Amino acid sequence: MNALAALGEILVFIGTFFYFLSALGLIRMPDVYNRMQTSTKSATLGSLGVMIGVGIWALGEDFGSVAWLTKTIVISVFLLLTNPISAHTLIRAAYKSGIPLWEGSVMDKYREHIEAKAKEAETVGAPESETPEEGGEE
């Protein structure tokens, strides 16, 4: 075992620790939004740690080669780009389908924004492209 392998092992350990924190956050947090916050963030970081760690770990072993590190870097870049997008989409969908915030939350600027927009559309009146609906013709 050499320095590279040791560094990889430490990174993997840190990664698994963050995985654990992410799972703990899923249990401990009060509502969907907080749960998503804790789980996605630490799971992304944990995965990065584990994958880069495995790549570096393999560099230090006899059987290892650079191929491992290349692959893990590609995978982690992919994960780093996609995970936040999926978290964003999930949270947005949760909000749009009306899942309430935690009762302890103080502010909901997004709700205010949506309501202000709706009001604006009402006062302007006659929303654009209001084609008369043709229904009940069966």
Partner 1 sequence: MLKRSLAIITILIIGYWLAQSLAGVPFGEDKMLVGQYYLDHVKDQTGAVNAVTAIVVNYRGFDTLGEVTVLFIASTGVGALLWRKRKKRTAKTEGSVVLTTGSELLFPFVVLFGSYIFIHGHLTPGGGFPGGATIATAFLLLYMAFVSYEIPHKAFEKTEGLAGMGYVLVGLTGLAIGGYFLFDWIWQTWQWGTGNIGRLFSGGFIPIIYTLIGIKVGTELSGIIDNMLKEEVRE
Question: Site residues (CB under 8 A) for partner 1?
Answer: 78, 81-82, 85, 88-89, 92, 96, 134, 137
Other C-beta atoms closer than 10 Å to the C-beta of 88 total 12
- The least distance separating partner 1 from the CB of residue 5, rounded to whole angstroms, comes to 25
Q: Which two tokens stand for residue 25?
A: 């956050």
- The least distance separating partner 1 from the CB of residue 22, rounded to whole angstroms, comes to 21
What is the CA 40 to chain-centroid distance, rounded?
Answer: 4
Nearer to partner 1, 88 or 111 (CB): 88
- The least distance separating partner 1 from the CB of residue 14, rounded to whole angstroms, comes to 27
- How far apart, in whole angstroms, are the C-alpha atoms of residue 49 and residue 103? 34
Nearer to partner 1, 24 or 121 (CB): 121
Q: Which two tokens stand for residue 83?
A: 């995970």
